[in-house]
């Protein structure tokens, strides 16, 4: 079973090389991010022996999100290990975001320094947001690449208006770019990756 976990990295590499993964994304920052992720996957990942599963309140919506998700190669590779994922919330948001946010949002790092699969080059995992929840403005030094897997949410970058992002939308945030998300009547599940300086988590703006 542990060996099968390595198939997640293989699926991620194949997906990130596909046109769908980078649909409508361009620019030097995105190219650098993509190159970092693919370089990290090319160097290989190792199994993390002390990775422990952890649930979060929002995982009550995970079953619905998985049922609603269209077929996706990365999600297919992760599905057998859903019960093993370590879901967490960002402690930097406490005291800034409403308490209901922490009952309706969490992320799991699957590949990275603290992931199920270890690499120090990049981070990748899943973000889950419950119905009718706002993820207020925030930013981080790492660049970020999202691919929506399930649910249609509203996403905003910088001073732009919110826009609908159904699967399989691809979204990219440059370093320190302010962004926010808003869910409607269904949960949203998204694949994310971080590259660049990953030493600190996101901060509220």
The pLDDT, as a whole number, for residue 1 is 55
pLDDT (mean) for 143-155: 97
Structure token pair of residue 5: 């976990």
Q: Where are the beta strands (DSSP E) in 100-151?
A: 105-111, 117-118, 123-129, 134-139, 143-150
pLDDT (mean) for 149-169: 96
Q: Is residue 137 pLDDT above 70, yes or no?
A: yes
Task: Give the Cα separation of 157 and 147 in Å (integer).
Answer: 15
The pLDDT, as a whole number, for residue 2 is 73
pTM score: 0.97
pLDDT (mean) for 141-146: 98
pLDDT of 89-99, one tens digit each?
999 999 999 99
The pLDDT, as a whole number, for residue 198 is 95
Element (H, E) at 195: strand 188-195
Q: Is residue 30 pLDDT above 90, yes or no?
A: yes
Question: Got the DSSP string for 150-194?
Answer: ES-EEEEETTSPPEEE-TT-EEEE-TT--EEEE--SS-EEEEEEE
pLDDT (mean) for 62-85: 97
């Amino acid at each position: 079973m542990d060996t099968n976990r390595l198939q997640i990295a293989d699926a991620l590499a194949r997906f990130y090389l596909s046109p769908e993964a980078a649909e409508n994304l361009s620019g030097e920052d995105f190219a650098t991010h993509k190159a970092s992720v693919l370089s990290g996957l090319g160097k290989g990942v190792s199994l993390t022996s002390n990775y422990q599963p952890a649930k979060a309140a929002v995982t009550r919506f995970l079953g619905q999100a998985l049922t609603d998700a269209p077929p996706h190669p990365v999600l297919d590779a992760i599905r057998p290990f859903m019960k093993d994922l370590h879901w967490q919330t960002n402690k930097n948001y406490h005291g800034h975001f409403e308490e209901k946010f922490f009952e309706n949002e969490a992320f799991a790092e699957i590949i990275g320094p603290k992931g199920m699969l270890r690499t120090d080059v990049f981070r990748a995992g899943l973000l889950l947001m419950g119905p009718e929840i706002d993820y207020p403005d925030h930013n981080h030094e790492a660049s970020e690449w999202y691919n929506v897997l399930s649910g249609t949410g509203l996403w905003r970058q910088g001073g732009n208006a919110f826009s609908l992002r159904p699967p399989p939308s691809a979204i990219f945030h440059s370093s320190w770019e302010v962004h926010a998300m808003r869910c409607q009547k269904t949960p949203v599940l998204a694949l994310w990756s971080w590259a660049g300086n990953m030493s600190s988590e996101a901060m509220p703006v």
